[in-house]
Each structure stands twice: as structure tokens, then as C-alpha cells.
Amino acid sequence: MGHHYCCKQRKVKKGLWSPEEDEKLIRYITTYGHGCWRKVPEQAGLQRCGKSCRLRWLNYLRPDIKRGGFTPEEEKLIIRLHGVVGNRWARIAKCLSGRTDNEIKNYWNSWIKKKLEKPSSPPTTTPSAIDHHQQHNYQMVCNFPNHQDFVNQNFMTKPRDQTLYPSPFLPFMFDAASADDIQANNINAQAAEHFLIGVLNSRNGTWILDQQQHHHQVQALPSSTSPFTNNNMDAHFLPALVGPTIGNNNMVPIEVESCNNIDEEGEISMECLQSSTQELNALVHPRQAQHCSSSSFHFWDSVEAPSSSNMSSANILSSFPSYL
């Protein structure tokens, strides 16, 4: 296709935008709106392709663009979202207000990817088996209706019936950062909250987004289709949190031997979970390792729902992707 339909008839300028061009585009769009992008360059007096104008506006000139480096919270969110939706940068961008898909893509390619790569075990396959579920989960992530509910939710003090049981399908990480933190870091709270509120009702196989006021129930995949159940994989491993590889190849089993504070129904103490979290934080953000004790980032992994009465520490084995 090359240049767009609107650029075929006339000569268009390519390359970097000059300040004068930027000014023209800003003035035009703020006055008239973009309407049909094809007509923008002509009406704004620009020798550019409409497509180029659109890109320039969306990626650079939009007033709500957030400039500057990514915060650690944004980075974590990107990593988690990428683990769910893959290279769908536009979708990820929708969950980080003020960030563009291009910016996130560049950031990923230039920085996060390198952090996550492990040269000795390059990713080899695409997790097609979990695409369906990942898509399903993404929809949970970005369609939650009420931000305030999330703000008011106290995830750490839920009654037993509402205890957070992480998914056997998806390696959820629950970020218990306060709403203020999220807002301060300009993270789209609607997106963030969905990562926080995924509650698996293991008894009837449905996902429940449990709220004090709202009760959203989403039908989950049949357990037989899950690639992460014990039928399909070693219970001691979780699928890769990030990256395309499924299975045990990139897994480094980490036994949470220090987790002795498991009650009769199989719940793990927050201290224990945080100790695992500290390890992840140290891997993702080394500088944060210094503040582990106050970290608000919790990694919930293969903790089994207390449906079985013979819960033991063997069921609480944890794993992290080795290339984190």
C-alpha cells in the first residue's frame, strides 16, 4: 500500500515534523477537530499525508499525552498486560492514560524486552492454547464499570468467602497499590482495578468480579480446556507470566518453603506472599528491592483454592518465569 490513498495525487512531505507544521496541525485540530483525516492536511495547509497528520497528532501533539519516563507502576502494568494480550500495543495503551501505543511499543522493545529476555532460553512458541482465555481475561481487565468501587475495596480484609483465589488459568498479580498511587502514576484505574479484582470461584468454574455493590459474573472456560490445570502441567509450575512460551521450559520452580503460615483452609499469610513478591520486585525493579518491606506489589501465583481439605505446603509451590 505504501502511501495512503489521500497522498497519491499530490506531493507530500515526509520525515520529521517542523514546529511550524506542528503549530498548523494543532491550530487546525483544536479549532475544527480532525473530522476526516484525509481532509486535514489540505484544510490545515500542510503538505502531509492525512495518515501522517493523524499519527503526529495521536502520538505527539495530543494535549493529554504524558511525557517523560515510565513509572515503575506503569512498567509493571505494561508487563502484566503484555502477558495477557501480547503485542497489542493499542490495547495496552488504553489502560495507561496519556501513553501511546507507539510509546509503549518503543519502550517495550528498547527496555523491558531486554530485561525479560534470557538468552539461554529464547521463547519458541506462541501460547495459542491460552489465547482464548487471555482475550477473555483482557475483557475483564478493561471493561470494569466503576472506578470508585475499586477505590473503596479493601482487598486484604475480605471475609473468607470472598478471599482472593488466583486463577489456575492465569498468573494474576494483584497490585495492592492505593488508588492514590494509581492516580498519581496516571495509570488507567479502570484497567488496573481489573487486575486487582479477578476472583476465581473454583467451585462453579466462573469468574466473579466481586464488589460490595456490583457482582459481575463471567463464564470461564471449562476447566478441561485450561492448559494450566494439573491435568496438563506440573502443579509446581505456572505458565510464563510474560512472554510467549508455555510449559516448563522457562520455569524456575521456587518453593515457598518459608510459607509456614498456612491456615487450615490453605490461606497463606500476607507476609509469606510478600516475600515472594519481593523477589519479583527485585527482578523487575532492582531499585525497589531496597523498599521491599513497604512494597505494595503482590504476586499471587499457584495458590490453590481451599476446596480440598488436605491442603499442604506442597500445594503452595510457586514459580517465576526464569527470564524475568
> Closer CB to DNA, residue 89 or residue 150?
89
Beta-bridge partners for 258: none
Told to check if 125 binds DNA by CB under 7 A, we report no
- By CB under 7 A, name the one of 30, 43, 109, 139 that touches DNA: 109
By the rule CB under 7 A, 36 interacts with DNA: yes
List of residues 6+ apart from 162 with CB closer than 8 A = 199, 210
Q: Which is nearer to DNA, 16 or 310 (CB)?
A: 16
Q: Which residues of 65-76 are buried (b: 16+ CB within 10 A; e: fewer)?
A: ebeeebbebbbb
Q: CB-wise, 17 or 297, nearer to DNA? A: 17
| Contact in structure between 13 and 47 (CB atoms under 8 Å) | yes
Shortest CB 7 distance to DNA, Å: 8
Task: Find how far residue 83's CA is from the centre of its chain.
Answer: 7
Which three three-digit cell numbers place residue 310?
488436605
> Under rule CB under 7 A, which residues in 227-286 are in contact with DNA?
none
> Residue 171, exposed/middle/buried by CB under 10 A (0-12, 13-18, 19+)?
buried
Binding mask 37-76 for DNA (x = CB under 7 A): xx---------xxxxx-xxx--xx--------x-------
Scanning 109-117, 135-143, 144-152, 292-300 for contacts with DNA by CB under 7 A, the matching segment is: 109-117
For DNA, the closer of residues 27 and 158 by Cβ is 27
Q: Work out whether 32 is an interface residue with DNA (CB under 7 A).
A: no
Q: Which CB contacts under 8 angstroms, 24+ apart, belong to 19-22?
A: 21/46, 21/48, 21/56, 22/56, 22/60, 22/61
Of 14, 132, 158, 291, the one binding DNA (CB under 7 A) is: 14
- What are the residues binding DNA (CB under 7 A)? 1-3, 5-6, 13-17, 36-38, 48-52, 54-56, 59-60, 69, 87-91, 101-103, 105-107, 109-111
